[in-house]
A and B are shown apart, each in its own frame.
Chain A
Amino acid sequence: MAASDNGGNKPRKPLPLAALIPMDAALIAASLLSFAYFHHVNPLFKDKAPLLQATIPQRDDIYAVSSTTAQTGTDKTTSADTTTATVKTESGKTDKTDQTEVTTKSGSSKSSAATTKTTANNTVSSEDAQQGTESEAQQGGDTPQSETKKTTASTTPTTTTRKTTTTTTTTALQYDLSGWGAKWPELFSIDNTIEKTDHSYRSHDIYINLTTCEYADSNCYIADIYVRKLENFKTAFEHDEFVNGPQENMYDMAARTNAILAINGDFTGGHENGVVIRDYVLYRDQPRNDVGVLFYDGTYEIYSRNECDTAALLASGACDSMTFGPALVKNGNTITGQTSSMLGEKHPRSGFGYYEPGHYCFVAADGRGMGGSAGVTCDEFAALFGDVLGCYQAYNLDGGKTSQLWFDGACFNQPDGFNGNPHSLRGLTDIFYIGEVE
């Protein structure tokens, strides 16, 4: 370098330009290499070992409530159709037969209140609906805690053989009532067929219906989700590793994980704090905000920073955590009053809603001018979940450019800056997704 000031001694001869330019080039190269090391290489080798593996609770009993709930739906029967089905438990050892009265309806079956309000499309094809049942439990979005209604059907554990009898002329159906299927037997496919449209997906274990609505000057995308088992609700880290490194594109993550429906997570890899539990494994234990926790039995609870006792959560069977926040709906109460710059302004947002075990929703709201959408404030987003969709719990995920809802091979919403090229999407560190159990 040019050393003009030499502490009062005779000035040194300035470096010739032919020497200075290579030295500057070397400095630039060194700077780029050091940055590349910290941005790409170091995070891959940084020790991100899980802190604790939770004991996964015995899962034989978690669907017991579901079968009872299915039976409660018979108090609104309008005609005779009796189905005797076998309820298979997780272990497969305690099979029992429930005799459940089901209804034959010519109309379409009801889904959640949220779906009813936001979609013009029906949730079940008419052919299936005619053969389907109407279960009071389908209204779980309104009454997530109402699983103790009166039971009119008798439960008689007998053999493991499935048999169906019917008093009508319609073809008898053999609904698989295993898992949470007993709550919404007509939503899932009876066999292993998969029915897909550009806004819905239906298989033996999964039912998804996507709708678009205009809300608060923004396009909102609502994915109503029913799963047979919690195993269908999955999460993934970037490159399958919990690292604070190069993020992974939503298209790549969804394709790698065979996701059917995916939403961005809480960008947990980019944060340096927050409670991170994924698939019963604790990766980080530094509460920073409200924490949403999905438990082994499909229930979802939201804890404030002070309430969050990670050890107790793990002991209670915490399966996955969401650590962005804030809570939008807590125990049925819409939470408003967010005034900070990020939360009080209109932006694209993503959120997760919970109705009852097995029934959830992903919601993304466009913003920043994409598709003419201004975005939503956090209060508006909370009202969408609480007042419009009727969620019992709802939690705000990372928003802005991160807000991405992916369905069946393509982005369903219009993320900020997305021009159709997958690489124009912001990379993600984690996603929540719905997928088949392999």
Chain B
Amino acid sequence: MAVLKKIGAALAAFLPHLLLAYGLMLLTFFVINCVNTSMMFLDSRISQRFELFYAALNLLLAVICFVKKRVRIPAAAAAVIAVAFVVPVFSALKAGNAVPLDNAYFRIMALISALATLTASVMVIVKQRRDTRAAYALAGE
């Protein structure tokens, strides 16, 4: 049980950093896609897998934030936006199409989701560091 707790704690500490990286990646993809659509950074198969994983991690972070009662609103908002972002991916997979319905929705949601995830993950990291610093100071006293 203690091991599981340690793993959970490590995951909770690591997840916002991972989402920070993924949010920046998605922002990069969005910019590349604006410059050169041919690269298919947003809607290739591997990108779709990344996006699904990214949305799942956002959901997980939201759950952790709700359990720990920290930065709940930004985390929940980021998760909802991420899920809304990957809806076209699900539709494409369900319809057997290679790429999502390529309309403005998908591209705009990519930008919004990346920004929301970056905001939420930075807020979680800052909150974590404050809590850690406070706990360390309290233990030192």
Whether A14 touches B24, Cβ cut-off 8 Å, given contacts A39-B46, A267-B98, A342-B97, is no
Question: Would you call A31 an interface residue if the criterion is a C-beta within 8 Å of the partner chain's C-beta atoms?
Answer: yes
Cβ distance B55 to chain A, nearest Cβ, rounded Å: 16
When the two chains form their complex, are residues A270 and B101 in contact, meaning their CB atoms are under 8 A apart? no
Question: Would you call B56 an interface residue if the criterion is a C-beta within 8 Å of the partner chain's C-beta atoms?
Answer: no
Task: List residues of chain B with CB within 8 A of the CB of A272.
Answer: 45
Compute how far the CA of A398 lies from the CA of B133 in the bound complex, rounded to whole angstroms.
56
Task: List residues of chain B with CB within 8 A of the CB of A401.
Answer: 37, 99, 102
Cβ distance A126 to chain B, nearest Cβ, rounded Å: 43
When the two chains form their complex, are residues A31 and B37 in contact, meaning their CB atoms are under 8 A apart? no
Bits for B28-42, please: 1 = Cβ < 8 Å to A, else 0. Answer: 100000011111110
When the two chains form their complex, are residues B101 and A400 in contact, meaning their CB atoms are under 8 A apart? yes
Compute how far the CA of A14 lies from the CA of B127 in the bound complex, rounded to whole angstroms.
12
Look across to chain B and name the residue whose beta carbon is closest to the beta carbon of A426.
B37
Q: Which of A84-92, A117-125, A135-143, A246-254 contacts B (4 or more CB under 8 A)?
A: A246-254
Task: List residues of chain B with CB within 8 A of the CB of A1.
Answer: 13-14, 17
Compute how far the CA of A364 lies from the CA of B99 in the bound complex, rounded to whole angstroms.
19
Task: List residues of chain A with CB within 8 A of the CB of B22.
Answer: 31
When the two chains form their complex, are residues A28 and B12 in contact, meaning their CB atoms are under 8 A apart? no
The listed residue (A13, A271, A427) touching B38 by CB distance below 8 A is: A427
Task: List residues of chain B with CB within 8 A of the CB of A398.
Answer: 98
When the two chains form their complex, are residues B96 and A368 in contact, meaning their CB atoms are under 8 A apart? no
The listed residue (A30, A248, A342) touching B95 by CB distance below 8 A is: A342
When the two chains form their complex, are residues B129 and A2 in contact, meaning their CB atoms are under 8 A apart? yes
Interface centre among A6, A248, A417, A422 (most CB of B within 10 A): A6
Give B1-60 interface residues, CB cut-off 8 Å to A.
2, 5-6, 9-10, 12-14, 17-18, 20-22, 24-25, 28, 35-41, 44-47, 50
Task: List residues of chain A with CB within 8 A of the CB of B25.
Answer: 28, 31-32, 35
Compute how far the CA of A382 lies from the CA of B41 in the bound complex, rounded to whole angstroms.
32
- Offer 30 A-B interface pairs, CB within 8 angstroms, sorted by A: A2-B132, A3-B10, A4-B13, A4-B128, A4-B131, A4-B132, A7-B6, A7-B9, A10-B139, A11-B136, A13-B136, A24-B20, A24-B21, A28-B20, A31-B22, A31-B25, A35-B50, A39-B41, A244-B44, A247-B38, A247-B39, A267-B99, A270-B40, A270-B99, A271-B96, A341-B101, A342-B95, A423-B35, A426-B102, A427-B38
- For the complex of A and B, 5 pairs with smallest distance between CB atoms: A270-B98, A4-B132, A427-B38, A5-B9, A11-B135
Contacts from A to B (Cβ < 8 Å): 1-7, 10-14, 23-24, 27-28, 30-32, 35, 38-39, 244, 246-249, 267, 270-273, 288-289, 340-342, 368, 398, 400-402, 416-417, 422-427
